[in-house]
Amino acid sequence: MSYLTVLDILATMAFAVSGMLEALEKRMDTFGVFIIAFVTAVGGGTLRDILIGETPVFWMENLVVVYAIIITTILAIIFRKHLNRLRKSLVLFDTIGIGLYTVVGIQKGLLVDLHPIVCIALGTMSASFGGVIRDTLCNEIPVIFQKEIYATACVAGGVVYFGLSYFNLGNQWLVLISILTVILIRLLAVAFKISLPSLYKDN
Amino acid sequence: MSYLTVLDILATMAFAVSGMLEALEKRMDTFGVFIIAFVTAVGGGTLRDILIGETPVFWMENLVVVYAIIITTILAIIFRKHLNRLRKSLVLFDTIGIGLYTVVGIQKGLLVDLHPIVCIALGTMSASFGGVIRDTLCNEIPVIFQKEIYATACVAGGVVYFGLSYFNLGNQWLVLISILTVILIRLLAVAFKISLPSLYKDN
Amino acid sequence: MSYLTVLDILATMAFAVSGMLEALEKRMDTFGVFIIAFVTAVGGGTLRDILIGETPVFWMENLVVVYAIIITTILAIIFRKHLNRLRKSLVLFDTIGIGLYTVVGIQKGLLVDLHPIVCIALGTMSASFGGVIRDTLCNEIPVIFQKEIYATACVAGGVVYFGLSYFNLGNQWLVLISILTVILIRLLAVAFKISLPSLYKDN
């Protein structure tokens, strides 16, 4: 379990920063910023644990996660003027986060014997719903539903995960390659402004 | 259990279409449309299962539900130009959905020994919260809170369910009559533009 | 358990009124008003129970809570013209509610052996998320994230709770003093328009 926990924490810190930045943009107060950071960070994983009935949810029994969010948010608030310059690199944080969460979600689904398709859905929801909750609380239509290759990358990572599991790779390789698939697809999509084919040309 | 499952699937497909149509109106991308369809479809039932602690939630252990949503959404996206013409009949889909979900919710509540009043609340939430989540994610005040006889129809169906249960009817009749009650009230309300008495005349 | 239940009911009624008033402002219909009142009232506690896996959630097994919300909402709708004059005193209702919910949340966390920090987070979420759900469903950025000392008061109450627990006070005193701490901090903040130091002076 311990390396699942490490992945959880890394993803959590990345999401906390992304939540904090959106809350700052909405000019929330210190506590609003902190709560949005917290909810963004743990929202996807919390939903995942609730859906499969693994309660108390992960962050309640892993104080490391809670400390990581608190420290990340405090540091990020202190250095927020400098973060502003890093805003573009937020995409990278976020992308690593969704890669990690996708695979953690899949693995937690496997632990309770869910079908691969359901595991991929669970992984995708774990990865994307922190951001969905963040945008909803900030009174925006979730950005991932509109213009970005995001959930698509998660699903692709999940397909790679189960595709590779037919080969005799070690679990570490499975995890690593799947995470890198998510990250690669998302970064390529951002770099080359690739988006899904529009549904609206002909309307 | 098997006919509960069939009801779940039918309601799920109806809700998926309603979610998809609203997502298209918000000009979401393919994945946004799919996720809104999915969340609208399973949202009410997922909330129901979470509230009573029946996890992993229903769609995680019924691949049929997941396939039904995927196929419904793909077909609906392909034929979306024609769906546009059917937009008015969306009310019908939606209405059948809430009738089904109300009764499924009530029956699941009874299985865990909840009081009839709580069962009716559970049924009403199962029926209406897919739509509430849909509207919230689309950044709208949920339509059911504003101008439509909707939850009222669900509650009426629930009252009929428990009222009839004092008589010696078979369970199928209970289910059928309750569902038809919900559908009838909602369709009559829509047809004759009946809404609840306004609270605002005197403000 | 019985006095925890009484606290739950009192907090629940206070939150129901606050939900109802916001729903009236959005000109929702009777059922919309009722559902917003209900969701605001039980939202925080429901989230609390879901997160720790205590299902069916509290109001499903305490009909008193459900009756209290129904009666409160009916009375509040009937006397809504007079409530309008009481709008300013809504802050008081709300404040008592968050004080109560914070402590109930902490105590429920302790019952499942959670760490004090997690208990405080749980208490704060119990206290504040009814209002967050209320504002989100009313399509507003949650007010508690923006300008009010709110969650801060809950956290302070939680710190007092665990601070005092080192002394040999009876449980009733612990509870009472913690609740009064939350109420006092919030009311002082409202009275003297104290808010958290702004993050935006230098941006």
Spatial distance between the Cα atoms of C8 and A76, rounded to a whole number of angstroms: 36
Distance CA A7, CA C120 (A): 25
- 203 residues of chain A, pLDDT tens digit each: 466 566 667 777 878 888 888 888 888 888 888 888 998 999 999 999 999 999 899 889 888 888 999 998 898 888 877 776 666 666 777 788 889 889 989 999 999 999 999 999 999 988 988 889 999 998 888 877 776 678 889 999 999 999 998 888 888 889 999 999 999 999 888 888 777 666 666 54
Average pLDDT over residues B151-168: 91
Q: Is residue C182 scored above 60 in pLDDT?
A: yes
- Over 80: is that where the pLDDT of B184 sits? yes
Residues of A in contact with C50 (CB under 8 A): 50, 55
Residues of C in contact with A59 (CB under 8 A): 118
Report the range out of A71-75, A187-191, C107-111, C163-167 with the highest average pLDDT: C107-111
* Per-residue pLDDT tens over the stretch B100-136: 889 989 999 999 999 999 999 999 988 988 889 999 9
SS3 C200: coil
Task: Give yes or no for a contact between A155 and A124, defined as CB atoms under 8 angstroms apart.
Answer: yes
Distance in Å, alpha carbon of A35 to nearest chain C alpha carbon: 8
Per the domain annotation, does B196 fall within a domain? no
ipTM of the complex: 0.84
Model confidence band, residue B203 (pLDDT cutoffs 50, 70, 90) = very low
The predicted pLDDT at position A86 comes to 66
Neighbour tally for A176: CB within 10 Å:
14
What pLDDT sits at residue C23? 86
Query: Touching C: which chains, 3+ CB pairs < 8 A?
Result: A, B
Domain count, chain B: 1
Alpha helix locations (H) across A79-170?
A: 80-85, 90-111, 116-137, 151-164
Q: A196 Cβ partners below 8 Å, 6+ apart?
A: A149, A152, B29, B30, B31
Contact by Cβ (8 Å): C33, C21: no
A115 versus C170: the higher-pLDDT residue is A115
Mean pLDDT across C161-184: 90
CA distance B142 to chain A (A): 13
Residue A197 lies in a domain: no
For residue C129, being part of any structural domain is answered with yes
Look at residue C201 and tell me whether its pLDDT is greater than 90.
Answer: no
Whether A198 is covered by a domain: the verdict is no
Residue C153 lies in a domain: yes
pLDDT for residue B77 is more than 90 = no
CA distance B67 to chain A (A): 9
Contact A30 C197 (CB under 8 A): yes
Give yes or no for residue C203 having a pLDDT over 60: no
Residues of C in contact with A38 (CB under 8 A): 121
Q: Inspect the interface and report whether the beta carbons of C29 and B196 lie closer than 8 Å.
A: yes
The reported pLDDT for the residue numbered A180 is 93
**Residues spanned by the domain of A182:** 2-191
Is C111 among the domain residues?
Answer: yes
Specify the 3-state DSSP secondary structure of B113. coil
Identify which of B184, B63, B161 has the alpha carbon closest to the alpha carbon of residue B110.
B161
> Would residue A199 count as lying in a domain?
no
Q: What is the structure's pLDDT at A146? A: 74
Chain C residue with minimal CA distance to B122?
Answer: C60
Query: Residue A58 domain-assigned?
Result: yes
State the Cα–Cα distance between residues A95 and A184, nearest whole angstrom.
9
**CB pair distance less than 8 Å for A51 and B53:** no
Contacts of A129 in chain B (CB under 8 A): none
Per the prediction, chain C carries an average pLDDT of: 85
B118 SS3 class: helix
Structure tokens at B107: 């029956």
